[in-house]
Chain A
């Protein structure tokens, strides 16, 4: 598949930029400096989360791109998605999946900062082969400049994206009430962005969905699903409490889509920009659907351990820190009571 016309015109790109700004501002509004500090209080959970997000996920993305024999532009996009930090969407899903929201928020905060170092390294590791392929085909087509992975630009884009996040955090400090509104607006904007992108792509290329080969669908849907699965597996091997497992799983599979859009727009050029963008759009669309189903599934399997955890929290709050509740096995079965 080749997209021979720009997916978004400059006006649409500008609009998208503003929306990303709003979303990142809203993301900042959910964070407090305490979230960064408390990341250090859960070292085990955080370590597993880190390994899962920056170890597993890029590897999954690379393997998928390799196995599905994706065209190099889309392969780079998939690896890029695999290397992204987490977003606030995952915190919301963690909440409804009866996961640990605190761990999810800490992982989002930590990974967003760590991405500044990790992304260039990981892209170098997994995407340089695909980048060479793009370079070769461009030169063969007579493009003198060729293509090189824009590491510096990616870091700059990431830094730019962090500016509204910091602004959002400042708002949160001064007005929690307005911060909540900013958060809701940003959440709403996430749906709008996806709809906006899908519609504008369809206006210009009405048969884009039909033209897209199945491998690209498989890649954009599979990367999230594999992230959920392997994230959960890794947390299980590490014997994390059940609610942490669900958080790590969701945090691994759900990436910060808006950052992907920002990086692609700011750091990549045509002809590969539109193709990368399309894969990012597909990922963002499908991840909402797949994580909804995964969340419903987690809600169901986590019912008992979550209720025990909540009950223990209330007991300790009201009866004293040292209060320990013993549940008879006949009533709760062999549930992990941590």
Chain B
């Protein structure tokens, strides 16, 4: 329910304008249409030097992609084959993708940091017969694994500057071969494109996990096309996108595809050169991750600290003003975080206060914005329009910092299984603390964790069930076809077309989605490592000194644990008749449990470095059935995390940010 009438709100929001884009029934058609429409405009740019970049045009890219596809077909690639791609962001990766799509095949991508076990499992599971490798190091590794990969027939080296081994082909040679074939009248590619169906896979992405084998997510052309047509971001052919995140993740890939459909040039940067490239490329847009913003945040604060006092004071005044100014603007444009419903009188009073504050701050903000903040914003290049941050939760203070500063950091939400975008904030709808509106044509249901009933949208309630938390489930054109050759996992995740995300969320009263936690057990650290808590907890609870425990650390830098000391265990150690409260407060108990954790969760017992518990806190209340435990003694993780949230926060603050 909007607080202000539309014409007043439009003063604060500019209406999103339709952006020109090309599309197609599948990616092959999209690539062809992009080449036709955008022709000689640059599609991708490769960095040779600080100020020397090499562009490749849409037409040229498509032409070379078609030669490559012709060469691949001659090598024996069939329609709907799975082509392996091992490597990170570079033009040749996109070429390999063009080659796969134009020959009617799908690719199975993985980054340079893939392990040997993963290569074997993925390639065998996906039935990979032809694979691209980026570097000579990767080609050697793959050749060494050949004994385990009986189906693998051809390896193609992407980097034309490295020397291929005897049995390995060079990408450039394959393209040349395709050029000759086409000159001789080969038109296989056109036939393959004509046979492609929107329901065919364009990629098969294996998601990592520490326990169990990786699962292959089947994404179709229709999944990707639906995203490109619906992602509500104002990216056009006059924009510049910088690419740093790994392209074999669907999150970065969707941005590169979006850039192609909008005729916008993607510039390949790297973490090492990013700061410099931001200044020279002046990107208008990029896909980003929370860690990038954390590091820019730190860099700005450091620079402010080092500046002389006058400038420091100007910065603090500017930030103070923009904080309160923007807060009022967000409120008046309906973009404040609304977890509870409000009556009309309350809304009216708040609107009045904010309008007054907005008016008072306007001239001061206007000046400081122009003189101080604009200068600060140059850290991301002078033309930045926004960035979608994904792949983890953005810490609230970082989120606020950039959005109050006027650098729109838009948090998005999605999974590989949803190709990936489910919801995303836009500059017009920037509710800090949420991941924005659901994108068009996607249905959302918030489902009760206990009963499985639909909490939102619930037609019997006036507020439709806004503000109620439960598991996020979605149905829409971006939801995957299923897990490849894994009907069991597919059945668990996809029920009647509804994909169960394993994340807990709620819908705010201004219809934005807010993520509050996970109901799947897996803890994803801020570094992206997946930690399975169950084996760690099992190991810890085997200690006589520990009654219950729970591993936490979602979006933190390292895992931590909540520990309930065992009164019996400590009684046997001589601390007889001492209550749980006293045990939890005792430094001696703390020391002994600390030693126990270090001993049990160690490399000797098979735990990886990122799985070590670097922080723990003692809880003075046992976990009881019905409250923290189900009747089957399974932990209700979201309830425990909610109950001890402040304790967990203190624990991570106390031990600092580094392990």
Q: Are A331 and B42 within 8 A (Cβ)?
A: no
User: Smallest Cβ distance from A127 to chain B, in angstroms?
Assistant: 33
Bound-complex Cα distance A304 to B55 (A): 22
B36-58: CB near A (< 8 Å → 1, else 0) gives: 01111110010000011111000
User: Smallest Cβ distance from B364 to chain A, in angstroms?
Assistant: 8
Stretch in contact with the other chain, from B366-374, B400-408, B544-552: B366-374
Contact of B281 among A185, A314, A330 (CB under 8 A): A314
Supposing A191-B363, A310-B282 touch, asked if A317 and B41 sit within 8 A by C-beta, the answer is no
Q: Are B383 and A184 within 8 A (Cβ)?
A: no
- Whether a CB of chain A sits under 8 angstroms from the CB of B611 is no
Q: Are A318 and B282 within 8 A (Cβ)?
A: no
Contact of A330 among B37, B52, B55, B364 (CB under 8 A): B37
Q: Are A331 and B236 within 8 A (Cβ)?
A: yes
Interface SS of chain B: mixed
Stretch in contact with the other chain, from B2-10, B237-245, B446-454: B237-245
Bound-complex Cα distance A327 to B20 (A): 12
Bound-complex Cα distance A240 to B171 (A): 49
Q: Are B41 and A314 within 8 A (Cβ)?
A: no
Bound-complex Cα distance A327 to B236 (A): 11
User: Smallest Cβ distance from A2 to chain B, in angstroms?
Assistant: 31
Bound-complex Cα distance A326 to B14 (A): 28
Residues of A within 8 A of B374 (CB): 95
Contact of B282 among A180, A308, A314 (CB under 8 A): A314
Q: Are B240 and A326 within 8 A (Cβ)?
A: no
Q: Are A311 and B371 within 8 A (Cβ)?
A: no
Q: Are A331 and B53 within 8 A (Cβ)?
A: no
Q: Are A318 and B53 within 8 A (Cβ)?
A: yes
Interface residues of B in 284-331 (CB under 8 A from A): 284, 308, 310-311, 314
Bound-complex Cα distance A183 to B236 (A): 35
A-B contact count (CB 8 A): 87
User: Smallest Cβ distance from B264 to chain A, in angstroms?
Assistant: 9
- Whether a CB of chain A sits under 8 angstroms from the CB of B263 is yes
Contact of A319 among B55, B284, B308, B364 (CB under 8 A): B55
Bound-complex Cα distance A318 to B282 (A): 11
Closest residue of chain B to A326 (Cβ to Cβ) is: B40
Q: Are B281 and A318 within 8 A (Cβ)?
A: yes
Q: Are A292 and B238 within 8 A (Cβ)?
A: no
Q: How many residues of A contact B (CB 8 A)?
A: 33
- Whether a CB of chain B sits under 8 angstroms from the CB of A328 is yes
- Whether a CB of chain A sits under 8 angstroms from the CB of B624 is no
Interface residues of A in 179-203 (CB under 8 A from B): 180-181, 183-185, 187-188, 191
Q: Are B311 and A314 within 8 A (Cβ)?
A: no
Bound-complex Cα distance A53 to B645 (A): 64
Q: How many residues of B contact A (CB 8 A)?
A: 38
Interface residues of B in 463-516 (CB under 8 A from A): none
User: Smallest Cβ distance from A321 to chain B, in angstroms?
Assistant: 11
User: Most B CB atoms within 10 A — which of A95, A304, A311, A319?
Assistant: A311
Supposing A319-B53, A326-B40 touch, asked if A188 and B237 sit within 8 A by C-beta, the answer is no
Residues of B within 8 A of A184 (CB): 314, 371-372
Supposing A318-B53, A328-B37 touch, asked if A188 and B371 sit within 8 A by C-beta, the answer is yes
- Whether a CB of chain A sits under 8 angstroms from the CB of B280 is yes
Interface residues of A in 58-100 (CB under 8 A from B): 92, 95-96
- Whether a CB of chain B sits under 8 angstroms from the CB of A315 is yes
Closest residue of chain A to B310 (Cβ to Cβ) is: A181
Bound-complex Cα distance A168 to B374 (A): 22
Residues of B within 8 A of A317 (CB): 51, 280
- Whether a CB of chain B sits under 8 angstroms from the CB of A307 is yes
Residues of A within 8 A of B282 (CB): 310, 314
User: Most B CB atoms within 10 A — which of A95, A177, A307, A326?
Assistant: A307
Closest residue of chain A to B281 (Cβ to Cβ) is: A314
Question: Nearest 9 CB-CB pairs, A to B?
Answer: A307-B238, A318-B53, A331-B20, A184-B371, A331-B237, A311-B238, A187-B371, A319-B55, A181-B310
Contacts beyond the supplied A187-B370, A314-B282, A325-B42: 5 A-B pairs with Cβ under 8 Å = A180-B311, A181-B308, A307-B238, A327-B238, A328-B38
Contacts A/B (CB < 8 Å), 21 sampled: A95-B370, A95-B374, A177-B308, A184-B371, A184-B372, A188-B371, A191-B367, A300-B14, A311-B239, A314-B282, A315-B55, A318-B51, A318-B52, A318-B53, A326-B40, A327-B237, A328-B41, A330-B20, A331-B37, A331-B237, A332-B238
